């Protein structure tokens, strides 16, 4: 019997994204609890991920890091329904994944670090406000795209493109960023995050 896939991380981290993808494809996996303070600094973990960051994934001899790349792999290898059906849609899934990593997550993390992640004395309210303002641009792009197609990013079906974008947007959704001006994003996010697999991952994340 094949060894299960190992996900290194904790639900209250970017490993949440991988737990959601793993649940979505009913992957045979184990979560190896590795936190982002001490766990990432162990010699054994650094041998897997020289960046000393969670998450990481091990599947047989293959080791991967970068949460969104891990999800592309999980979907490509194990998630028939999650993986786009055409090469063109694969291109769109890569586009949305890189867009999320470069256009959405950095500005959202600026807001998150300075609003609730860091201890209060380390937060900079000006950076928090600038982050919240800056997030309007990528969420505005999503609002436009979802308004001109949908209901999902690649069309009719939920794919890894939705999962990768929605699992990053979850941070804003869960922590009270105002989605009022972006009703289509809010509706799409609610739908994605209410999927049974998302709920199972959220239970792990929100109980932690
Ligand atoms: N781009 C990486 C970022 C990974 C990352 O920053 N992980 C955080 C936890 S969510 C971490 O391990 N931080 C430890 C540190 O920066 O020392 C990914 O998406 O996997």
Per-residue pLDDT tens for 114-161?
Answer: 999 999 999 999 999 999 999 999 999 999 999 998 799 999 999 999
Q: Which residue has the tokens 């998630």?
A: 79
φ and ψ at residue 32, rounded to 5 degrees? -95, 105
Is the same domain home to 58 and 161? Answer: no
User: For residues 135 and 126, what is the distance between their CA atoms, to the nearest angstrom?
Assistant: 14
Residue whose CA is at the smallest distance from ligand 1 atom 5: 53
The answer to whether residue 193 is domain-embedded is yes
Cis peptide before 174 (omega within 30 of 0): no
Ligand 1 neighbourhood includes 40 CB (under 6 angstroms): yes
Distances (CA, A) of 110 to 70, 97, 104, 168: 23, 19, 10, 13
In a domain, 207, yes or no: no
**Domain identity same for 103 and 185:** yes
Residue 33 lies in a domain: yes
> What is the gyration radius of the CA atoms in the chain, in angstroms?
17
Q: Residues of 91-104 as b/e, b for ≥16 C-beta within 10 angstroms? A: ebbeebbebbbeeb
Is 16 in the same domain as 95? no
30 lies in which domain range? 5-78
Among the candidates 55, 78, 101, a domain finishes at 78
Cα of 51 from ligand 1 centre, angstroms: 8
Distance 55 CA to ligand 1 centre (A): 7
Q: Which of 70, 67, 39 is nearest to 52 (CA)?
A: 39
Distances (CA, A) of 114 to 98, 133, 200: 24, 13, 28
Instruction: Please report, for the domain that includes residue 43, its CATH number.
Output: 3.40.30.10
Residue 7 is encoded by which pair of tokens? Answer: 């996900």
177 and 99 in a common domain: yes
Domain end, chosen from 48, 78, 108, is at: 78
Q: How many structural domains is the chain composed of?
A: 2
Assess whether 154 and 119 both reside in one domain: yes
Q: Ligand 1 centre and the CA of 69: distance in Å?
A: 13
**Any atom of ligand 1 within 6 Å of the Cβ of 14:** yes
For residue 155, is it within any domain?
A: yes
Same domain, 100 and 54: no
Q: Which two tokens stand for residue 181?
A: 């001006």
Domain for residue 171, yes or no? yes
Are 22 and 47 members of one domain? yes
Instruction: Give the atom of ligand 1 at the shortest distance from the alpha carbon of 65.
Output: 20
Alpha carbon distances (Å) from 86 to 83, 89, 93, 154, 157: 9, 5, 10, 11, 13
Q: Are 111 and 105 in contact (CB under 8 A)?
A: no
Please report, in tens digits, the pLDDT of each residue of the chain (208 residues total): 566 999 999 999 999 999 999 999 999 999 999 999 999 999 999 999 999 999 999 999 999 999 999 999 999 999 888 999 999 999 999 999 999 999 999 999 999 999 999 999 999 999 999 999 999 999 999 999 999 987 999 999 999 999 999 999 999 999 999 999 999 999 999 999 999 999 999 999 999 7
Q: What's the CATH number where 157 sits?
A: 1.20.1050.10
14 CA to middle of ligand 1, Å?
7
Q: Are residues 58 and 104 in the same domain?
A: no
């Amino acid at each position: 019997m094949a060894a299960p896939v190992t996900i290194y991380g904790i639900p209250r981290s970017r490993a949440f994204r991988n737990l959601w993808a793993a649940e979505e494809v009913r992957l045979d996996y184990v979560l190896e609890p590795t936190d982002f303070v001490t766990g990432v600094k162990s010699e054994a973990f650094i041998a897997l991920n020289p960046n000393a960051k969670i998450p990481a994934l091990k599947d047989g001899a293959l080791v991967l890091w970068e949460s969104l790349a891990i999800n592309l792999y999980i979907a490509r290898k194990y998630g028939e329904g999650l993986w786009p059906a055409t090469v063109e849609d694969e291109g769109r899934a890569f586009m949305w994944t890189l867009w999320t990593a470069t256009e959405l997550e950095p500005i959202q993390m600026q807001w998150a670090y300075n609003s609730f992640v860091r201890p209060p004395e380390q937060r900079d309210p000006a950076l928090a406000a600038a982050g919240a303002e800056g997030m309007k641009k990528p969420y505005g792009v999503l609002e436009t795209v979802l308004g001109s197609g949908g209901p999902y990013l690649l069309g009719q079906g939920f794919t890894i493109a939705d999962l990768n974008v929605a699992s990053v947007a979850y941070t804003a959704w869960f922590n009270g960023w105002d989605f009022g001006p972006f009703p289509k994003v809010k509706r799409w996010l609610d739908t994605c995050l209410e999927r049974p697999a998302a709920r199972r991952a959220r239970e792990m994340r929100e109980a932690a």
